[in-house]
Amino acid sequence: MSDQTAGGHAHRTPKAEFYIYFTLIFMVAVPLSLGAWVWAVIRQQRLPVHGPLARAWLEAKAITPAIFRP
């Protein structure tokens, strides 16, 4: 079997650093998502599919990997 890490092509995200960034982004996204969720409820007069925590989780999940992309 050949060594796939030779040549510096293996990019591994440091887990601790990734989770620290994820947590920080999530904590910033929670109030923003809550505001957007309340605004959507007022505007549409019905509950959106995703609650504010789910929206914040999805935002953090989308933004954090983009930080570590080479």
Range of the domain at 46: 15-68
Number of domains within the chain = 1
pTM for the whole structure: 0.74
pLDDT for 44: 93
Tell me if 38 is assigned to some domain. yes
pLDDT for 41: 95
- For 1, 30, 31, 37, 54, the CA distances from 40, given in Å and listed in that order, are 54, 15, 14, 5, 14
Tell me if 8 is assigned to some domain. no
pLDDT for 9: 56
What's the token pair of residue 8?
A: 């510096």
Series of mean pLDDT values for 10-residue runs along the chain (70 residues): 56 81 96 95 92 95 88
